[in-house]
Amino acid sequence: MNNTLLSRYSGAVPRYTSYPTAPHFHEGIDCGIYAQWLGSLSGKEDLSLYIHIPYCDRLCWFCACHTKHTLKYEPIAIYLESLKKEIEKVGSLVSGDAKVSAVHFGGGSPTMVRPEDLIALMACLRAAFSFGENVEISVEMDPNDLDDSRYDALAEIGMTRASLGVQDFDPRVQKTINRLQSFEQTKSVVDAVRVRGVHSVNCDILYGLPHQNLETLGRTVDDILSLAPDRIALFGYAHVPWMKKHQAMIPEAALPRLEERFAQMSMASDKLLAAGYEAIGIDHFALPGDSLAIAAREGRLHRNFQGYTDDAAKALIGLGASSIGQLPQGYVQNMPATGEYQRMADNDGLAVVRGIALSIEDRLRARVIEEIMCSFTVSFSGLRTHFGLLAETVIAEARQFAGSNRDGICEIIDDEFRLTEAGRPFARTVAAAFDSYLSNGKGRHSIAV
């Protein structure tokens, strides 16, 4: 890779799991507006539910999730009671004809929840919402939390996809990021969930970690491939200590340089492709028969706060502290502070404190950015079909961007804006060119590679 391209297109930009991005949410969107938006959901709509468990029994230094450390179960038990109240309230505002098609338990560490409480939480969800057939139920798992009773509880709630964060198996890297997790532990989880009928396993790998190099990362990728997961996410470590203070525990001098990060990403990607995985967007890989790979080939790939998905639900309802929801009218976010979230949920059942309503231009630019992030191609005819004359402004921007670019990262072919192979690693940077909010300076972001 040309180092000039790396330096030119690897600046700090959003990850674009939404547009507008979260720093532009505001307090003008509150519980009252959220209740109206929920009430207006059509009974014909599919719903996707995200349930956030903001607790871990260890705090990984690399993590940028909203979570807190606890070795006691009492705070989790109290939190779950508040969470159930929010579930019941939100469910009462949504049409009973709207069907849940997907449920995702994230965190934090959802597997910290005791088996009986996990079963009760799923029962609460099923009582509050109408579930469709063949609901996808995915759970983020920490091997250090798991035992047979938890595996059995996960099977009882109908888990269909297990997601394991691996990051790197090298002992020195693990010690530096405070994430001790052996290959043997990880394999035991994969074996246990597959024995219980889970049809899809996802593993996360991070590059750009402290003390990581091509050799250590290569061994980790080989170990992961030996488990034959259905999906693999290859993320670049986002060093944002101004936002997540515990990342200051990571010695910056031990972090790979930009060129080293890119080399790690390229090496890992090549290994995954050589093993028969298909590239999905900027950082996911899937076996050809996986639903994500099929969706990508058929042009049905989407991107939301869980990353790449084949979930076509028009409404993503976030439940729990800090959770973000995406509804046809716009985005909402719950109170991040766990104690204050519990107070709001206990008093009213709703805990939204900010969000943003989407304008027509927001929807147009969101579509352009999502197409860049998912397929590296923007169809001008598709924009005109959905947005009419309004599309011409963004089409003109795309033509101007491609025409003025001398680095060969994008081109116009057959009335389409396309990223070239050289440009695909910089999709976030190209997407940022269509972000009309970015110039107002709200939010700091991680580097694009």
Residue 136: burial class (beta carbons within 10 Å; 0-12, 13-18, 19+) = buried
User: What's the pLDDT at 415?
Assistant: 94
Do 426 and 370 fall into the same domain?
yes
Instruction: Look at residues 31, 118, 34, 116 and name the one whose alpha carbon lies nearest to residue 327.
Output: 34
Tell me, yes or no, whether 347 lies in a domain. Answer: yes
Q: For residue 108, is it within any domain? A: yes
pLDDT of residue 442: 63
Amino acid in position 232: I
The total number of structural domains in the chain stands at: 2
Same domain for 377 and 350?
Answer: no
pLDDT of residue 116: 98
Q: CATH code at 402?
A: 1.10.10.920
Residue 441 binned pLDDT confidence (cut-offs 50, 70, 90):
low
Which of 342, 357, 372 marks a domain boundary? Answer: 357
pLDDT in tens, 417-433: 999 999 999 999 999 99
CA distance linking residue 426 with residue 373, whole number of Å? 10
Does the pLDDT of residue 121 top 80, yes or no? Answer: yes
Residue 325 or 45, more confident? 325
Task: Report how far residue 107's alpha carbon sits from residue 67's, in angstroms, rounded to the nearest whole number.
Answer: 7
Binned at pLDDT 50, 70 and 90, residue 52 comes out as: very high
Closest residue by Cα to residue 446 from 270, 244, 147: 244
pLDDT tens sequence across 353-409: 999 999 999 999 999 999 999 999 999 999 999 999 999 999 999 999 999 998 999
Query: Is 449 among the domain residues?
Result: no
Residue 349 token pair: 């059942």
In which domain, by residue range, is 379 found? Answer: 360-440
Q: What whole-number distance in Å separates Cα of residue 43 and Cα of residue 327?
A: 14
pTM of the predicted model as reported, rounded to 2 decimal places: 0.94
Per-residue burial over 165-186, b if 16 or more Cβ lie within 10 Å, else e, is: bbbbbbeebbebbebebeeebb
Q: Binning pLDDT at 50, 70 and 90, where does residue 150 land? A: very high
